[in-house]
Structure 1
Amino acid sequence: VNSSLDARMQAYRDAGVQQVVIGLADIDGVIRGKFVDLSKLESLMAHGGGFCDCVLGWDVDDQLYDHGTYTGWQTGFPDAQYRLLTDTERTIPGEHTPYFIGEFVDDTSDFHPICPRSCLRRVLTRLGDLGYTARSGFEYEFFIFKETPQSIREKGYRDLTPVTPGNFGYSVLRATTQSEAFNGLMDYCREFGFPLEGLHCETGPGVWEAALAASEGIEAADQAALFKNFTKVYFQKRGELATFMAKWSMDYPGQSGHYHFSLLDAEGRNAFSSEQPGGIPDVARYVLGGLMRYLPEWLPLLAPTVNSFTRLVRGAWAPTAASWGVENRTAAFRFIPGDAPRQHVENRVGGADGNPYLAAAATLGAAARGIEEKIEPIAAVVGNAYEQEDVMESERRFSPTLRDAATRMGKSNAARGVFGDAFVEHFVGTRIWEAQESERFVNDWQLNRYLEII
């Protein structure tokens, strides 16, 4: 091992590499990390490293949570140990700087109790015990503005200028006019090791949609986390700004983070395929049954912010209850028929603001429970799913707010069985905190409605 490490470090020196970047995803999917010198990298590769565990105990504004036992003032904020995943190495395009993904570790278990990446590995292991490997890919919608981190603050996040005007989904005119940016982003993602299958304009001023190429196991979530972070980097280096908020304006549709997946059996065959064209085999039915049964309980894993719930409304291209249909984009779960390799399920619940590790863990965890319990789904929705919502059982409807959804998840014995008590307690607490933070502020709607009249 030492000779292999020595050879690797010498290869870096011979190539002129002087430092690398390491990054780990926090509970919100935000990548936290640092640049490190080669001498430090050698130590990290040999022994692992530590981050102040506040990165697991604060929100997106670096404000410390006021609850929990894993981390907090009462613990003194010791280092949380992590391992460097050397097989995730890729090079940041144009910088000659290697990048590594890290994962938090626990001394007593193969799975860290609250690390999002470890949470997904736990679920993938469960699927593996059932004889299946996930093959999946994310697709994201995101708005791009002719703004900078400084200008959006100076403007108070108002009157932002999109890169293009008007509603023009799938526009070849817009895409080819901006071909430098389109080609540039696709090249950047390919060189960085998270290639895009497609990239196009969506409906709304300055909104694009990117579909990442499918991959097996945890790689899909790794690539999605990198895509979200480094798409922002790509545009900020151009003097522009990309956002993955679920809904930045009530004037436009929300921004989705859909998750496409199938399961491969031990021979590598698609377990969702059927000998009959468009047929739905038992495994796929059980998976749909699991999604229907459990994802309403685990909604915060797919809709983790207060803003998420402004997207989950009727008629806004986002589901409001657990439903499924064949090639039906009004349903929460869309079964997509095709030839043997391509037949799969699309989870349309998640927004672009979701942590990809947790969105995948929720989806695949529910799928695993469906297979284990052989849960049969209710009949597929035909036509407009929104119109059929009122006759659905209450347990299939999504909670209307983050606070309600988090409270519901906290009561889910199934969530505790799949993700562990420690994770559920911590994660639910972080979502209650997020709701509390929003309740502390007066927003524009309240001012417009009440300031003069009430």
Structure 2
Amino acid sequence: MPVAKKDARSVKKTSRIATPAFLTNLRGVKTWKEATEWLEWRGIEDIECITPDQAGVARGKMMPSKKFTSNTSLALPSAVFMATISGGYPEDGNGFTYPEDDGDLKLMPDLSTLSAVPWETDQTAQVICDLVHQDGRAVEFTPRNVLKRVVAVYADLGWKPVVAPEIEFYLVRKNPDPDYPLTPPVGRSGRPIGGGQGYSIAGVNEFDELIDDIYHFSEGQGLEIDTLIHEEGAGQLEINLRHGDPVELADQVFLFKRTIREAALKHETYATFMAKPIQGQPGSAMHIHQSIIDKKTGQNIFAAADGNETDAFHHFIGGMQRHVPNALVMFAPYVNSYRRLTQAASAPVNTKWGYDNRTTAFRVPRSDPGARRVENRIPSSDANPYLALAGSLACGLIGLRNQIKPDAPVGRTVNDDEIELPRSLLESVQLFEADEELKTLLGAQFVTTYAAIKKAEFETFMEVISPWEREYLLLNV
């Protein structure tokens, strides 16, 4: 008997040694052969082939994993990437033309994003896809390709952008009737959550089980959360991600949004990334930390050898100051987004910059010279992460190219000052369409498509009569 036990342990040990390393990867494989073995090793029968649309919503197809690995051609109609958030379509005009044939675009799985879907009861996997035309050309107007286009321009100049997003969101009670306002959830104490809980550990502990599921679901996908905190709003949380490649981080935000919503639903709660979901409560932001690395030296181009600030650092800020207002529709994409951008609120409404000044649009956090970065505090959490990162990096890149000098930094409170940003969605769209340098970097087809969608969404919003209008106009005018 002892010999048999020894032999069994020996076989088990040999089996572990023989297991290829890629099979134990929680996220990503290199080849289709590895993908096939990865899926079989986990007993996964279904796979979701997903891609972000203009709103950042996951679109795609679900299929048996054996079909996925059998060289099957995957496609989606081009109209998927021209639809509004309510499912409508924009009118032709101003450079936008709806394709008469509504032809297919090919889905190209990025195997480096292959991971499990841990909240599914059946063994399921997911993979993020890019879109190409039938002849293999990248589709210019899809969000992941827009970000890749901007990152490629940096690469051509010998640079590598590094980003770290911070995503705020609210947990709210289930609300199936949109006519009723959203309300904070009830925590484990049995009482509705109140505001003013910034950085409160007790506030986080109110949702211990839900947060545990967020962590477990994230770990199951190979996603790494840096920190999680309770923000100022009632039931408002923030997740910070580790810095890295822009496309990889946009992928993570895309997947985190799905993950957080699924974890919340498991606990009979909604998670919302609306910019301003509850009247009287702070809005939700997606702050973006940015630095640029020289690919040859591996050094941060914002810091000189002696640790001082470089011209590149100032030019990057100058580009942000000059062009972020024109790209605001990528950071504040809905009518609701502009409810967050108001005076004397936690969100900046200016184009100023400063050192560790959270009232400025562009904050330079305290850090060692090698970690010097610029935080864009304007984007709201309702923004498509691919487009927010693309827009922010594009504005900085224009500053680098044109050597735009920034204004002097400010050391006082400036979010009480006059609003320097566009005040409405339509105004933002007009500035967006008129900025030729942004259009060149982001792609003309994307700009015209995205602008057309935003105009259509505004017109749909204008069809809705609000409670404010009924309260103050019904009997008074």
> Secondary structure at 1:298's aligned position in 2?
helix
1:54 matches 2:79: yes
Partner of 1:77: 102
Letter in 2 for 1:23: I
- Give per-residue Cα distances to partners, 1:72-123, cap 9 Å, x unaligned: 4x52322122211111111222544221001111356754221011000010
Contact 2:169–2:272 (8 Å) recurs in 1: yes
**Aligned in 2, Cα 1:159/1:113: closer, same or farther, shift over 3 Å?**
closer
Deviating more after overlay: 30-39 vs 319-328:
30-39
Partner of 1:106: 133
2:455 aligned to 404, 417, 432, which one?
432
Partner of 2:312: 283
Partner of 1:270: 300
C-alpha distance in structure 2 between counterparts of 1:103 and 1:50, whole Å: 11
> Secondary structure at 2:128's aligned position in 1?
strand
Q: How much has 1:195 moved relative to structure 2? A: 1.4
Q: How much has 1:64 moved relative to structure 2? A: 2.4
Letter in 1 for 2:133: D
Partner of 1:298: 327
Contact 1:24–1:101 (8 Å) recurs in 2: yes
C-alpha distance in structure 2 between counterparts of 1:441 and 1:284, whole Å: 45
Contact 2:159–2:294 (8 Å) recurs in 1: yes
Partner of 1:93: 118
Partner of 2:168: 141
C-alpha distance in structure 2 between counterparts of 1:8 and 1:243, whole Å: 33
Deviating more after overlay: 350-359 vs 245-254:
245-254
Q: How much has 1:6 moved relative to structure 2? A: 4.9
Letter in 1 for 2:155: G
- 5 Å-filtered alignment, 1:49-448, equals 49-67=74-92, 72=98, 75-93=100-118, 95=120, 96-106=123-133, 110-147=137-174, 152-154=175-177, 156-158=179-181, 160-163=183-186, 164-167=192-195, 168-266=197-295, 267-275=297-305, 279-389=308-418, 397-448=420-471
> Secondary structure at 1:35's aligned position in 2?
strand
- Give per-residue Cα distances to partners, 1:277-308, cap 9 Å, x unaligned: 6x422211111011011111111011110111
C-alpha distance in structure 2 between counterparts of 1:339 and 1:187, whole Å: 33
Q: How much has 1:364 moved relative to structure 2? A: 0.6
Contact 2:291–2:300 (8 Å) recurs in 1: yes
- Give per-residue Cα distances to partners, 1:390-413, cap 9 Å, x unaligned: 7xxxxxx21110011101111111
C-alpha distance in structure 1 between counterparts of 2:361 and 2:280, whole Å: 23
Partner of 1:394: none
> Secondary structure at 1:386's aligned position in 2?
coil
Contact 1:194–1:213 (8 Å) recurs in 2: no
Deviating more after overlay: 59-68 vs 222-231:
59-68
Q: Normalising by structure 2, what TM-score? A: 0.86
Deviating more after overlay: 173-182 vs 300-309:
173-182
Contact 1:194–1:223 (8 Å) recurs in 2: yes
Letter in 1 for 2:130: E
1:33 matches 2:63: no
Contact 1:232–1:242 (8 Å) recurs in 2: yes
C-alpha distance in structure 1 between counterparts of 2:443 and 2:37, whole Å: 42
Larger radius of gyration: 2
Q: Normalising by structure 1, what TM-score? A: 0.91
**Aligned in 2, Cα 1:250/1:75: closer, same or farther, shift over 3 Å?**
same
C-alpha distance in structure 2 between counterparts of 1:6 and 1:387, whole Å: 58
Unpaired runs of 5+ residues, structure 2, are: 1-30, 187-191
Contact 2:138–2:145 (8 Å) recurs in 1: yes
C-alpha distance in structure 2 between counterparts of 1:117 and 1:244, whole Å: 20
**Aligned in 2, Cα 1:272/1:173: closer, same or farther, shift over 3 Å?**
same
Letter in 2 for 1:379: A
Contact 2:282–2:340 (8 Å) recurs in 1: yes
Contact 1:30–1:60 (8 Å) recurs in 2: no
C-alpha distance in structure 1 between counterparts of 2:103 and 2:67, whole Å: 20
> Secondary structure at 1:218's aligned position in 2?
helix
1:17 matches 2:32: no
**Aligned in 2, Cα 1:109/1:290: closer, same or farther, shift over 3 Å?**
farther
Contact 1:18–1:37 (8 Å) recurs in 2: yes
**Aligned in 2, Cα 1:348/1:85: closer, same or farther, shift over 3 Å?**
same
**Aligned in 2, Cα 1:362/1:11: closer, same or farther, shift over 3 Å?**
closer
**Aligned in 2, Cα 1:190/1:275: closer, same or farther, shift over 3 Å?**
farther
Q: How much has 1:48 moved relative to structure 2? A: 4.5
> Secondary structure at 1:125's aligned position in 2?
helix
Deviating more after overlay: 256-265 vs 350-359:
256-265
**Aligned in 2, Cα 1:442/1:370: closer, same or farther, shift over 3 Å?**
same
CA-atom RMSD, angstroms?
Answer: 2.1
Q: How much has 1:276 moved relative to structure 2? A: 5.3
C-alpha distance in structure 2 between counterparts of 1:324 and 1:377, whole Å: 9
Contact 1:135–1:214 (8 Å) recurs in 2: yes
